[in-house]
Amino acid sequence: NAGVTQTPKFQVLKTGQSMTLQCAQDMNHNSMYWYRQDPGMGLRLIYYSASEGTTDKGEVPNGYNVSRLNKREFSLRLESAAPSQTSVYFCASSWGQGSKNSNQPQHFGDGTRLSIL
Amino acid sequence: GENVEQHPSTLSVQEGDSAVIKCTYSDSASNYFPWYKQELGKRPQLIIDIRSNVGEKKDQRIAVTLNKTAKHFSLHITETQPEDSAVYFCASPGGRALTFGSGTRLQVQP
């Protein structure tokens, strides 16, 4: 039981390059999330998926796209990376579905450290 | 949407002392309040949570208290140890996802 698995763990990109961050969970959770964490700014929600087949914007969605490939997998794509997207990206998952998912504990992956030059 | 404010941003205590971190929230309908601990370079991990039908919950040296009237909840750590040094985040439901506070860096001095 691995929990939430993120790949890659580290990545360096050049401005304008594209990249997809992968996330998979084996806990049979309905809801999945992508956050970015910048120094001193806590965790900011980029996108989330309250159930398989649905995705919604969070607090900071600009410059990102997501795909809920199936119940296990939720990917985050940067189409044209910018230095402002240098951050640590965390994927998380939780029980609950729809309006109930925000009342459940979230389980986080180990993060992807992304640097954009 | 939900607004969560967390104080203080940094906290330094001597080993063995108690530490208290407070969060306020804006949505009176919120009913779930978790606390996460994040060690340097690691992922956030849930350490304790409370639902709105109780006012206090304890787990060994940590406790969370909730005041729904005042819309604030607090994390209490007693008999602090060096391994408690980390960043702590509170959270509250904001629509369909949790809204996190900005974090408190706790340093326990041996």
- Given the DSSP bridges, would you call strands A112-116 and A10-13 parallel, antiparallel or unpaired? parallel
State phi, psi for A103 to the nearest 5 degrees. Answer: -105, 20
Q: Which residues of A touch B101 (CB under 8 A)?
A: 42
Q: What is the largest CA-CA distance in chain A?
A: 40
Structure tokens at B3: 């607004």
pLDDT in tens, B9-59: 999 999 999 999 999 999 888 889 999 999 999 999 999 999 888 889 999
Mean pLDDT, residues A76-104 taken together: 86
Model confidence band, residue A52 (pLDDT cutoffs 50, 70, 90): confident
Report which of residues A18 and A101 the model is more confident about.
A18
**Is residue A61 pLDDT above 90, yes or no?**
yes
**Can you give the pLDDT at residue A101?**
54
Indicate yes or no: CB of B32 within 8 angstroms of CB of A103: yes
Distance (Å) from the alpha carbon of B74 to chain A's nearest alpha carbon: 17
Mean pLDDT, residues B56-73 taken together: 94
CA distance A14 to B16: 48
Neighbours of B100 (CB within 10 A): 27
Distance (Å) from the alpha carbon of A68 to chain B's nearest alpha carbon: 16
Structure tokens at B67: 């005041």
Model confidence band, residue A97 (pLDDT cutoffs 50, 70, 90): low
Mean pLDDT, residues B81-86 taken together: 97
Strands (E), B28-94: 32-38, 45-51, 56-59, 62-67, 72-77, 86-94
Mean pLDDT, chain A, rounded, equals: 92
Q: Which residues of B touch A33 (CB under 8 A)?
A: 97
**Is residue A103 pLDDT above 80, yes or no?**
no
* Phi-psi label, residue A40: left if phi above 0, alpha if psi -120 to 50, beta otherwise: left
Report which of residues A14 and A51 the model is more confident about.
A14
pLDDT in tens, A7-47: 999 999 999 999 999 999 999 999 999 999 998 778 999 99
Which amino acid, one-letter code, is at A3? Answer: G
Q: Which residues of A touch B100 (CB under 8 A)?
A: 42-44
Distance (Å) from the alpha carbon of A110 to chain B's nearest alpha carbon: 5
Which residues contact residue B102 at a Cβ distance below 8 angstroms, ignoring those fewer than 6 apart? Answer: A40, A41, A42, B5, B6, B9
Which amino acid, one-letter code, is at A106? Answer: Q
